């Protein structure tokens, strides 16, 4: 009975959807996190009779006889809607407003992030909480009085016994042709894929690139209510598919009992 296997594919697909929802909700308080959405596609169809086929009587039928075989496993894509901006008061925090990513250097090469919580390490470099330095490198003098980051990425520091602030460098933002195709690798980091396009480094605010907001962080773009509504829908779909399996089993049992 096809219904058994077809309903099973539906249960597997809805389990996958629930896994994605669970990850979204788990990261509702993760700064810079971008939620994932799931889409599905139907599987191959079994054509029992094609429209226009010739039947034994010699006539041509205009109708078809076709049955689907279920749903394909879901695919995910990232949604880069803007998250809420939260003022933190921390002079090394920076939020991205608009398009773009901070570029950092990891032991495996360049990676990209929307998480703007930066710290100063033992070598005076601006780094992520995991210790990955910004690229281009920004070194902050230990004897600073204050630190400021402009909307265009300019990093200024006020030093003792100096009237004018000293420029330390500029934070750039990296853009991709299709950021929804970036690969998440954990730690709030992304790396390019074959579909995302090559990275392009830009000055914040130039050529459609976003700007930076000092002493703030971008929050997750997960909408809890929306995720909960999807969770209810997934649960009902899972229950419905399980009911199809139960009904198919009862029909097979009835057919098996005919010989008794």
Same domain as 181, residue 104: yes
Mean model confidence pLDDT for the chain: 91
Q: 56 with 98, same domain? A: no
| Nearest CA-CA partner of 146 in 136, 131, 129, 160 | 160
94 and 203, same domain (yes or no): yes
Strands 45-49 and 189-191: unpaired
Residue 258: per-residue pLDDT: 81
Pair 115, 33 in one domain: no
Say if residue 142 is in the same domain as residue 199. yes
Do 111 and 209 lie in one domain? The reply is yes
pLDDT on residue 260: 61
Closest CA to 192 of 208, 203, 181, 205: 181
User: Does the pLDDT of residue 14 top 80, yes or no?
Assistant: yes
The percentage of residues in the chain with a pLDDT greater than 90, rounded to a whole number, is 77
**143-155 residue pLDDT tens:** 999 999 999 999 9
Range of the domain at 103: 85-218
Tally the domains of the chain. 2
Q: What tokens were used for 164?
A: 């004018």
Q: Which of 103, 118, 98, 110 is nearest to 31 (CA)?
A: 118
* Residues 92 and 66 both lie in one domain: no
Residues 232 and 251 in one domain: yes
Same domain (yes/no): 90, 75: no
Residues 195 and 123 in one domain: yes
Q: Both 232 and 205 in a single domain?
A: no
Residue 38: both structure tokens together? 């799931």
- Asked if residue 122 and residue 35 are part of one domain, the reply reads no
State pTM to two decimals: 0.86
- Digit-coded pLDDT (tens) for 113-138: 999 999 999 999 999 999 999 999 99
Helices 2-26, 224-257: inter-axial angle, 10-degree rounding: 160
pLDDT at 259 over 70: no
């Amino acid at each position: 009975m096809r219904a058994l296997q077809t309903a099973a594919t539906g249960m597997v697909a809805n389990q996958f959807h629930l896994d994605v929802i669970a990850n979204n909700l788990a990261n509702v308080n993760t700064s810079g996190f971008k939620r994932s959405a799931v889409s599905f596609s139907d599987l191959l169809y079994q054509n029992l009779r094609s429209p226009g086929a010739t039947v034994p009587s010699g006539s041509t039928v205009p109708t078809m006889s076709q049955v689907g075989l279920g749903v394909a496993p879901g695919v995910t894509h990232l949604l880069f809607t803007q998250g809420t901006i939260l003022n933190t008061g921390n002079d090394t925090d920076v939020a991205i407003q608009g398009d773009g990513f901070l570029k950092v250097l990891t032991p495996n090469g360049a990676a990209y992030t929307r998480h703007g919580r930066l710290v100063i390490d033992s070598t005076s470099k601006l780094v992520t909480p995991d210790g990955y330095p910004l690229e281009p490198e920004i070194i902050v003098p230990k004897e600073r009085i204050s630190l400021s980051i402009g909307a265009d990425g300019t990093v200024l520091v006020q030093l003792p016994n100096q009237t004018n602030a000293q420029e330390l460098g500029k934070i750039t933002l990296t853009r991709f042709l299709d950021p929804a195709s970036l690969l998440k690798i954990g730690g709030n980091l992304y790396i390019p894929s074959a579909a995302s396009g090559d990275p392009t480094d830009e000055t914040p605010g130039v050529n459609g690139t976003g700007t930076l907001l000092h002493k703030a962080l971008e929050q997750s773009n997960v909408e809890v209510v929306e995720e909960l509504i999807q969770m209810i829908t997934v649960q009902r779909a899972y229950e419905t598919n399980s009911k199809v399996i139960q009904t198919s089993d009862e029909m097979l049992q009835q057919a098996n009992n005919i010989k008794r």
